Amino acid sequence: MIDRPPPGHWPQGEAEITDMIHRRELERVDPSPEHADLLIDQAAGHLSAAAPLIDHHPPSAFTLTYDAARKAMTAVLARQGLRPTTGGGHLAVQESIEAQLGPNVRHIVRPFRTMRRRRNESEDPRIGEAPVTVTVTECRHAHCDATAIVEHMTKFLAQVGPW
Q: What is the tens place of the pLDDT at every residue in 81-94?
A: 999 999 888 989 99
Q: Which fold does the domain 14-157 belong to in CATH? A: Four Helix Bundle (Hemerythrin (Met), subunit A) (1.20.120)
The DSSP symbol for 124 reads: S
Instruction: Evaluate whether 81 touches 118 at the Cβ level (below 8 Å).
Output: no
pLDDT single digits (tens) 35-83 = 999 999 999 999 999 999 999 999 999 999 999 999 999 999 999 999 9
**Residue spans per domain, the chain:** 14-157
Angle at 101 between CA 100 and CA 107, to 5 degrees: 140
pTM score, whole prediction = 0.88
Alpha-carbon distances, residue 151 vs 49, 72, 112 (angstroms): 16, 9, 14
Instruction: Evaluate whether 110 touches 98 at the Cβ level (below 8 Å).
Output: yes
